[in-house]
């Protein structure tokens, strides 16, 4: 049976007040069904709970409820099978589903909308949708963190140069560097789960903006849909998009972190650094230069970061001048949110697949760490421990570095006699701190570079991730 609008003169489900049909261009311009049909599953989910609640409070009979629920099952089956016919004339996902339901079950289908508006309906759909998507993002983020932690443990002893200003600063280990990435992602994970709390609030029952005169029970609907609570204020419930902005802000911060990681991966795979190797399946070649192996995955993730930033600015701008309550502007919230979600999920999947397969080139990393006088600070600390004031020690080490530059020698390559020309407190044991291994091992405190500290930090990170997952599960997923 075809989907027939309720008002033939205007060809709109809401056309009772209008005397002429909407202009064909305006109908296409204002329609959202081309993109909001992505919410179909969650629209039906919300409608099932709404019908169940209406029957529980006596607005619908049990037979009407059962008829509606059976009809919604049939509509969902058509959508999942790809046989559902979407109509721009019916504007959005809600009207398309309701019209098809009415086609199937008759006038009872028109009773489903009792006590609600498309305003609170779409706000509920987006929250249901985003809640599920957040759980998917969280699972991929956890998988990436697990991969980083495992790789960090594997590379806890692999020495590399640490940088400031992209200049060699002090020796660190590759495992320590990877755990710095993991710390970024741990904060992102907490932000994501915190955002989910504010997503998980029920707008349904706010109706258009002022609630409804029907004796609805919003706590019942919230419980059926797994929301923590109903929204407190009907005006805010239908017009709030803070939760979508907050997710897009999370996405922007996450992509900023992935972009920083990507930048380092791109540098490290270059011939100039030669620190790591990425598997061929995450790279491409050149159409003209046969020797090329391009790190396309991290480059593309780096590029997609600006795309997500744009969605955040678009969402903020969308909401900045809207008066209460609902406005048609809010239709523009879905496409940037949908694209931000897809982008984040794809980038996380790419990284979660790629990171465990990174191969460290330990010899290249170690050789790079030997350059640039990376143990100069260790020599200054050595002098301080022997009673030299730090500023004097800084001056002494600066002079020894200048000598090394002239002679083409690293500090660890100098003889004891050469070093003693700058300070007579220097003894043979200085070479214990001038070695790369001695340097990283000396920072044997929580958060330090010592390999044992790296392994301990990795274990704490693994336990924190497990606890986060356990709290998430025990807290009751919606």
Residues involved in catalysis: 165, 286
Q: How far is CA 31 from CA 87, 93, 160, 256, 414, in A?
A: 9, 10, 56, 34, 75
Dihedral, CA of residue 72, residue 78, residue 81 and residue 83, to nearest 10:
-160
Q: Residue 45: exposed, middle, or buried by beta-carbon count in 10 A (0-12, 13-18, 19+)?
A: buried
Q: Are the C-beta atoms of 61 and 55 separated by less than 8 Å?
A: yes
Q: What angle do CA 300, 135, 229 make, to 5 degrees?
A: 135
Question: Which among 111, 119, 106, 113 is positioned nearest to 4, based on CA atoms?
Answer: 106
- Residues 174, 178: Cα–Cα separation, whole Å: 6
Residue 187 to residue 40: CA distance in whole angstroms: 32
Q: Which long-range contacts (CB under 8 A, 24 or more apart) does 57-63 make?
A: 57/214, 57/215, 57/216, 57/217, 57/220, 58/215, 59/114, 59/115, 59/214, 59/215, 59/216, 60/111, 60/114
Residue 457: count of CB within 10 angstroms of its CB: 23
* Alpha carbon distance 222, 459 (integer Å): 39
Region of 15 on the Ramachandran plot (φ > 0 left; ψ -120 to 50 alpha; else beta): alpha
Give the phi and the psi of residue 435 in degrees, each rounded to 5.
-80, 155
Structure tokens at 168: 């060699």
Q: Which residue matches tokens 């997500």?
A: 308
Tell me how far the alpha carbon of residue 462 is from its chain's centroid: 19
Q: Is 389 helix (H, G, I), strand (E, B) or coil?
A: coil
Q: Say how far apart CA 189 and CA 137 lie, in whole Å.
A: 9
Residue 129: closest CA among 239, 215, 225: 225
Regarding beta strands 229-230 and 201-202, do their DSSP bridges make them parallel or antiparallel, or are they unpaired?
parallel
């Amino acid at each position: 049976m075809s989907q027939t609008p309720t008002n033939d003169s205007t060809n709109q489900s809401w056309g009772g007040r209008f005397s002429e049909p909407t202009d064909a261009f305006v109908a296409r311009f204002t329609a959202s069904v081309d993109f909001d049909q992505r919410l179909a599953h969650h629209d039906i989910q919300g409608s099932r709970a709404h019908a169940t609640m209406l029957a529980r409070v006596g607005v619908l009979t049990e037979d009407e409820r059962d008829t509606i629920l059976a009809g919604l099952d049939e509509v969902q089956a058509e959508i999942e099978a790809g046989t559902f016919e979407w109509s721009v004339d019916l504007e959005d996902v809600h009207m398309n589903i309701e019209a098809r339901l009415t086609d199937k079950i008759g006038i009872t289908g028109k009773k489903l909308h009792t006590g609600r508006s498309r305003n609170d309906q779409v706000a509920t759909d987006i929250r249901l949708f985003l809640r599920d998507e957040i759980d998917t993002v969280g699972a991929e983020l956890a998988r990436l963190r697990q991969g980083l932690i495992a790789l960090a443990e594997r590379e806890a002893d692999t020495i590399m140069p640490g940088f400031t200003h992209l200049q060699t600063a002090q020796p660190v280990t590759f495992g320590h560097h990877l755990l710095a990435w993991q710390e970024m992602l741990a904060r992102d994970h907490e932000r994501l789960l915190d955002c989910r709390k504010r997503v998980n609030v029920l707008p349904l029952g706010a109706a258009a903006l002022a609630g409804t005169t029907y004796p609805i029970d919003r706590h019942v609907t919230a419980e059926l849909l797994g929301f923590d609570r109903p929204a407190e204020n009907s005006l805010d419930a239908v017009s709030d998009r803070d939760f979508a902005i907050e997710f897009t802000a999370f996405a922007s911060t996450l992509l900023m972190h992935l972009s920083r990681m990507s930048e380092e991966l791109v540098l490290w795979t270059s011939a100039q650094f030669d620190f790591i190797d990425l598997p061929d399946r995450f790279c491409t070649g050149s159409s003209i230069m046969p020797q090329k192996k391009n790190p396309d995955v991290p480059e593309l993730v780096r590029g997609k970061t600006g795309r997500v930033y744009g969605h955040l600015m678009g969402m903020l701008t969308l909401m900045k001048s809207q008066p209460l309550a609902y406005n048609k502007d809010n239709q523009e919230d879905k496409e940037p949110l949908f694209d931000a979600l897809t982008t984040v999920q794809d980038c996380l999947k790419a990284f979660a697949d790629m990171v465990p397969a990174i191969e460290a080139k330990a010899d290249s990393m170690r050789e790079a760490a030997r350059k640039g006088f990376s143990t100069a600070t260790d020599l200054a600390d050595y002098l301080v421990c022997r009673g030299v004031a730090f500023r004097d020690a800084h001056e002494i080490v600066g002079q020894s570095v200048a000598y090394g530059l002239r002679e083409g020698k690293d500090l660890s390559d100098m003889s004891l006699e050469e070093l003693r020309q700058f300070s007579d407190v220097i003894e043979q044991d200085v070479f214990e701190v001038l070695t790369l291994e001695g340097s990283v091992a000396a920072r044997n405190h929580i958060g330090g570079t010592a390999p044992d500290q790296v392994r301990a930090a990795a274990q704490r990170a693994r336990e924190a991730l497990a606890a986060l997952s356990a709290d998430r599960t025990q807290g009751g997923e919606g």
